[in-house]
Amino acid sequence: MNGITVLGLGAMGSALATTLAGAGHEVSVWNRSRARSDALVARGARRAETVPDALSRSELCLICVLDYAAVREILTQASSELRGRTIVNLTNGTPADARELSSWTTKLGARYLDGAILVTPELVGREASSVLYCGDAGAFSEHAATLSVLGKAIYLGEEPTLAAVRELAFLSAMFGMFAGYLQAAALLRSQGERVTEVTPAIVALLAEMSALLPETAAQIDSGVYPAPSSNNRMMQRALANVVGGSEQQGVGSELVRPIHALFERAVEAGLGDLDISALVPLLEVPESVHSTS
């Protein structure tokens, strides 16, 4: 049982299996739609016809599918095979998902690692690739060298929610950037401009803005918010113009209204003279009303 099992052969699962096989590991694969394993099998991977068969072949089992509902559906088909296995779940999910799956697999006798892949499938196994892990420390140290084939293996700690929260934070930053860019593109098109012509200037602006983030982070961590040259009151007015101007141009304002509302709340709370970093506490819901789902 020295091989590795990969469950789920979507874009990411296929990249994981291909990379592990390319590094010389014996890889067994299973996917709900059987045809998706054909290409890997043609390159030497071993096809498992059922989930129990796939799990029985390796101590180390990676799973990467659409969501945790699918993970649970898959592993439930082989719950009696979980004992003695290390399950590395690289599927995106919430902290509650991770906590629940960790508890369920552990009760069934498996060691559980929750992970988050920080790159697209094309980059798996390349220099730029990093994967976050949390959960069973012994399982991680035993398999760290194997997992490093996929990208830099970063262990965050035993708490099973660590990787999920970190991944959701990264996705929040990424989707925020893309949401802003989609609005920019729609506005440009409303004026008959070519998005490709203006995009290099947007890229330059975003590079300048993202260079400010370490300073913003220090303010957030210290809770000391300076009065900057670009204050929240000024930005609230500018955002009101982004909302109103978009609507005048026939562009939807659904992406920008929430951020305008947050700045409005900041001004009402007396944070108008401060830096954008002062907005973070406004997003923090008291612990007593945290949702567990």
| Total length of the chain | 293
**Which residue, 2, 161, 5, 158, is CA-closest to 81?**
5
> Binding residue for ligand FVH (CB under 6 A) from 53, 77, 96, 121?
121
Using the structure block, give the residue that is written with the tokens 């260079």.
211
DSSP conformation letters of 75-95: HHTTGGG-TT-EEEE-----H
Nearer to ligand FVH, 86 or 92 (CB): 92
180 counts as binding ligand FVH under rule CB under 6 A: no
Helix intervals (H) in 191-231: 195-210, 213-222
Shortest distance in whole angstroms from residue 66 CB to ligand FVH: 4
48 counts as binding ligand FVH under rule CB under 6 A: no
Q: Each residue of 210-232: b (16+ CB within 10 Å) or e?
A: eeeeeebeebbeeeebeebeebb
72 counts as binding ligand FVH under rule CB under 6 A: no
Residues 82-101 that bind ligand FVH (CB under 6 A): 91-92
3-state SS assignment for residue 96: helix
66 counts as binding ligand FVH under rule CB under 6 A: yes
13 counts as binding ligand FVH under rule CB under 6 A: yes
213 and 280 in contact (C-beta within 8 Å)?
Answer: no
Q: What is the size of the binding site for ligand FVH (CB under 6 A)?
A: 21
Tokens representing 89 are: 């779940």
> Binding residue for ligand FVH (CB under 6 A) from 50, 80, 103, 120?
120
What sign results for the dihedral spanned by CA atoms 244, 249, 250, 251? negative
Shortest distance in whole angstroms from residue 21 CB to ligand FVH: 17
Nearer to ligand FVH, 40 or 279 (CB): 40
33 counts as binding ligand FVH under rule CB under 6 A: yes
> Binding residue for ligand FVH (CB under 6 A) from 22, 49, 50, 73?
73
Shortest distance in whole angstroms from residue 14 CB to ligand FVH: 7
The residues binding ligand FVH (CB under 6 A) are 8-13, 31-33, 36, 64-66, 70, 73-74, 91-92, 117, 120-121
